[in-house]
Structure 1
Amino acid sequence: MRSARRLSAALTAGLLAVTLAACATSERDDGAAAGGSGESGGTLVFGAPGAPDNFDPIFATDGETFRPARQMFDTLITYAQGTSDLAPGLATEWTPNADGTQWTFTLREGVTFHDGTPFDAAAVCFNFDRWYNLPSEAAQSQAIYYTDTFGGYANNLAGGGDPVYNSCAAPAPNQAVVTLNRNKGAFPAAFGLTSLSISSPTALQQYDADTITQSGEAFSYSAYANEHPTGTGPFKFESYDRAGGVITLVRNDEYWGEPAQLERLIFRVIPDENARRQELQAGTIDGYDLPSPADWDALEADGNQVLVRPPFNVLYLGINQKNNPALQDVRVRQAIGYALDRESLVRNQLPEGATVATQFMPDTVAGYADDIAPIPYDPERARALLAEAGQSNLTLNFYYPTEVTRPYMPNPTNIFTALSENLRQVGITVNPVAQPWAGGYLDSVNVNGVQDLHIIGWTGDYNDAGNFVGTFFGAAKPEFGFTNEALFSAITAADATVDPAAKEAAYKQVNRDIMAYLPAVPISSSPPAVVVSEAVTGLIPSPLTDERFLTVSKN
């Protein structure tokens, strides 16, 4: 059994990790974090559970795309390693005006992009203006994090709302001023989103960064996104062998902070968890993400280090109301909730420390409503509700991902199997649709909304209720296929509330409203892990799964 000491340490770290910096202007030490104790140089090979979609951060939507991007790019603000506390990134200070509609950033000087382009306030504004003016519906629909954060674009072809972003000015080379149309509670923490990484203006223009095309459910990206991602980070892009699933990064010797310990950082895409473990045992990789909870003890017995992240995620069963009118009936959605034996799933499929979710955020986030009880497992009640709604012979297309393991979802196939069997037992016929995570599933679910049911989840980007419920239910989305203006307005109002106590109360009511409307069913929160060999030092597990390899070395 996994040691109680390790579990206790992980949970204690989780309580510490979810505290954000209280002050608006950072006074934190801006020096680089200390690296590992191993020798400088060499190559580290890390096993990734899935393939990246592309390397342009603004179009990144999942952890496997963010993982290499975090090593190549910097953001204005970042998160102190191992926590969700704010720390200086490309900005050393950030100060709001009185009503939170303007943020002034003091920028690092002497920083250059990988292509030699100087980093300055003009480069910052170029990026903000680029995001706001994305030219096509395909580009806008793929910039999901920008849409969630800033609400809309100069040209709202993708159906965005009223934009939060207004303008960016560069009164001095080391000072950028971002003006918003209204206060948004996500800031300043959202300025640390990997999607809002700062790219080289030269490279963006040279390699046609905003050229995105759509064919059916698939998207094709620019030369910038596929071959020339150019940031200011500690590693530079060298190559991506798509057929072999090998991403190669090299150390940026001109990095503005302490240079990386490693000369080369290689991510090998190995979707099968058993294959990742075998590769670690064979010594062909030095670590991998998301080891099966059942393997943690054996991995440690073999001399490896299992690093458990604090739980800061939620797994849910998504319900899309667009394609099947039956799902527009709340009684049917409630029946689906009663049909699911989530206690059994958590006990049998998830690691120790996982809990049944009562709502769509962890209990460490301000706005969590502790008066919401879990939906009980009650198949008789589920059958009765289906009969009452006239849907005793309901058939649903249930999508689930393959070729991936997620922090909140160790084995998607097993979880799908358990949930679909629960549904079958109450009389729902399930048509299974399995698709690869990248290049299929994410587009089907998040962009095109072709499913009836799906399993997916979320790891928080920062500690704010809006990053959870606002991301899911703050506006009409293809994933869920519903419009509920009262709910959308309540989330917008909560997000704009400045007083912390009032904001927390507003989000608690939002959570109650969501669970009454039940646009999806929350399943669980769980502590994922990362494993590295005994030769690796300096990898710090993050509750945000925001691991940086800058500090990593290998003996």
Structure 2
Amino acid sequence: MRISRSRVAKTIAATLAVGVIVTACGSERGQEGDGGKPFVFGAAGDPRSLDPSLASDGETFRVTRQAFEALIEHEPGGSEMAPGLAEKWSSNDAGTEWTFNLRKDVKFHDGEDFNAAAVCANYDRWYNWKGVYQFDAISYYWQKVFDGFAENENEELPESNYAGCEAKDDHTAVIKVNKATANLPGGFSLQAFAIHSPKAIAAYEKDKPSGAADAINYPKYTQEAGTVAGTGPFRIAKWNKGNKEITLEKFDDYWGDKAKVDKLVFRTIDTEDGRRQALQAGNIQGYDLVAPGDVKKLADQGFQVPVRDVFNIFYLAFTEEQNKAFADKKVRMAIAHAIDKENIVNNQLPDGGKVATQFMPDTIEGYSEKIQPIKHDPAQSKKLLDEAGVKNLKIDFCYPTEVTRPYMPAPADIFQIMKSDLEGVGIKVNPKPMKWNPDYIETTRDGKCGLYLLGWTGDFNDGYNFIGTWFGGYQKEWGFRDNTVFKAVKAAGAEPDVAKRVELYKKANEVIMDYLPGIPISSSPPSIAFGKDVNPPKVSPLTQENFAEASFK
């Protein structure tokens, strides 16, 4: 393989996102594999879609990952890429042709056979998306990894880097791209590119999304069980939206190790206190994203509370086109000096949290030691606002509700701290709280917020998965156009030599922070809690837990 797998394992990764808990229903304790009581995993927020191709959030992927598999996965409990539906993979020297040797005797949940034709049917489906499918709220990851589509309907979309898929035989698929990219092979491990049954894909075509970019109506098949079909150890059986509960059932024809419980339930409990209390009451077996102040308390009570390694960035973003004042770097720098990042890290994040200096954690190769932190300095902030000639600056400040993120354990509390900091230097803040799914994600991505809180947990172990996600070209969510930034990031992403690429990442980070499109706040190690009677799955630094491993003691 042209890009070494050992390189990917070098950096310990940590969370792709999601707040979920494990809850058990019923009074009788079951045994491994006997289907006694369901293993209930309580989520911090509702998923967006049962089709992971149409999602970009961890709340969705935590659910769909149990039912769908990609060509490449990650080792249990680690960050090294490992065989998924492909037993082996390799690329040509140019990095433009990827060959996958596929597993045999794999069945989809609807009884269809998995083969190379199914792989190509999926990739060609995404490449040929039209209409609403081309909104980045729907096809976010396709656009991040493969750029545009067969026929772009938006002039701002770049030409697609996808050059086709060939089924050489039943168990050999070849995916081609026009030019090498640092997004591969990691992109092939994304849940958004998990493989669906061709029979299901045909059914999807009868039920398309509708609406506008800021008000999308998702296809019916994505909102209720019955149509989607993957190859995972569980199949999706039911989505009871009234009870905020998704039920998955053990797939008896799974090609690998069978699930140890017959039912897995994801239930949304949208407050951290509610999740903790349910665990303590014995109603659930665990939950993700434990509040920093609860970690020791739960451990002292005998609960299992493993801590993940740092693999995320939390940031405050500017949308320049939404608020013209942000076009002046002095204003952006004034806001950066106004925010007390150390206060947030010390009082809102778990032990091990760090103040960020750039848009990737220091656990990723390509992090630049040359970049100095922007100090909290209200006097300097006021001075810069005066120099910019800005008086009575008003800002729409968006923040999410009903959710907890690995990089942002208490969004409303963090917002209040930042609001106070900004008002302390004379900036008026207009709060705009929004429900995480779908309102907040779609509004921020559509460039409708002046300031907003967001972050990122790495999908795979390469610096481009961080800075390339945001700064490889114009995006509405940032609303700025600076070719110096774009060229620096693109140059790094196109470099096939890993050592050279790492050095280019360092330079790109320096260019990004010189422009200051937003304010990196922190990186932090999130915790996950499990009950005393649970054999938990291996905790993943990428939050890619496989709940087929879970059982009751």
Residue in 2 that maps onto 1:157: 153
2:468 is aligned, of 442, 467, 470, to: 470
Aligned-pair distance for 1:215?
Answer: 5.0
Match status 1:454 vs 2:452 = yes
1:70 aligns with 2:68: no
Amino acid at match of 1:218: A
The answer as to whether partners of 2:11 and 2:364 remain within 8 angstroms in 1 is no
Compute the displacement of 1:306 (Å). Answer: 0.6
Aligned partners of 1:255 and 1:226: how far apart in 2? 24
User: What's the offset of the Cα at 1:17?
Assistant: 2.8
Query: How far off its partner does 1:93 sit?
Result: 0.6
CA RMSD for the aligned pairs? 1.6
Q: Distance in 2 between matches of 1:305 and 1:432?
A: 37
How far the C-alpha of 1:180 sits from its partner, in A, is 0.7
Deviation at 1:440, TM superposition (A): 0.9
Does the alignment pair 1:217 with 2:231?
no
Aligned residue in 1 for 2:506: 508
Spell out, residue by residue over 1:383-438, the C-alpha distance to the aligned partner (whole angstroms, 9 max, x if none).
Answer: 11111111131000000000000000000000000111111101110000000000
Return closer, same or farther for 1:16/1:503 CA change in 2, 3 Å cut-off: closer
Distance 1:390 1:137 in 2: 42
Q: CA 1:210/1:509 → structure 2, altered by over 3 Å: closer, same or farther?
A: farther
Three-state SS of the structure 2 residue aligned to 1:384 is: helix
Per-residue deviation, 1:451: 0.6
| Range 199-208 or range 209-218, more displaced | 209-218
- Name 2:240's counterpart in structure 1: 241
Deviation at 1:364, TM superposition (A): 1.4
Q: Is the 8 A contact 1:140 1:157 kept in 2?
A: no
User: 1:3: which partner in 2?
Assistant: none
| Equivalence for 1:198 | 195
For residue 31 of structure 1, what is the aligned residue in structure 2? Answer: none
Partner residue of 1:90 out of 85, 93, 114: 85
Q: TM-score, normalised by structure 2?
A: 0.92
Contact 2:311/2:523, CA 8 A, preserved across alignment: yes
Once the two structures are TM-superposed, the CA of residue 208 in structure 1 deviates from its matched residue by 3.0
SS at match of 1:305: coil
Report the alpha carbon displacement of residue 18 of structure 1 after superposing the two structures with TM. 4.4
Residue in 1 that maps onto 2:22: none
Query: Partner of 1:17 in structure 2?
Result: 12
The CA distance in 1 between the partners of 2:251 and 2:92, in whole Å, is 36
- TM-score (normalizing by structure 1): 0.92
The DSSP-based 3-state class of the residue aligned with 1:480 is coil
Asked if the contact 2:319–2:450 (Cα under 8 Å) also holds between the matched residues in 1, the reply is yes
CA distance in 2, matches of 1:162, 1:186: 16
Counterpart selection for 1:121 from 116, 126, 132 = 116
Q: C-alpha offsets along residues 98-139 of structure 1, whole Å, 9 cap, x if unaligned?
A: 111000100001111100111100000000001111111444
Q: Report if the CA contact (8 A) 2:359-2:467 is conserved.
A: yes
Alignment CA distance shift 1:91-1:246 (3 Å): same
Task: Please say if 1:425 is aligned against 2:424.
Answer: yes
Match of 2:183 among 157, 177, 186: 186
How many Å apart are 1:209 and its aligned residue?
A: 6.8
Deviation of 1:534 (Å): 1.2
Paired residue secondary structure (1:343): helix
Q: Which amino acid aligns with 1:203?
A: A
Structure 2 CA distance for partners of 1:400 and 1:209, relative to 1, 3 Å: farther
Which residue does the alignment assign to 1:107? 102
Residue 299 of structure 2 corresponds to residue 306 of structure 1: no
Deviation at 1:445, TM superposition (A): 0.5
Task: Provide structure 1 residue ranges, at least 5 long, that are not aligned to the other structure.
Answer: 1-13, 20-36
Distance between the aligned counterparts of 1:522 and 1:210, measured in 2? 40
Cα distance change, pair 171–210 in 1 and its aligned pair in 2 (3 A): farther
Amino acid at match of 2:319: N
Q: Which amino acid aligns with 1:533?
A: G
Q: Is the 8 A contact 1:139 1:212 kept in 2?
A: no
Q: 1:177 aligns with which of 174, 178, 183?
A: 174
Shift of 1:279: 1.2
Q: In 2, distance between residues paired with 1:435 and 1:72?
A: 29
In structure 1, the residue matched to 2:17 is none
Aligned residue in 1 for 2:368: 369
CA positional deviation for 1:538:
3.5
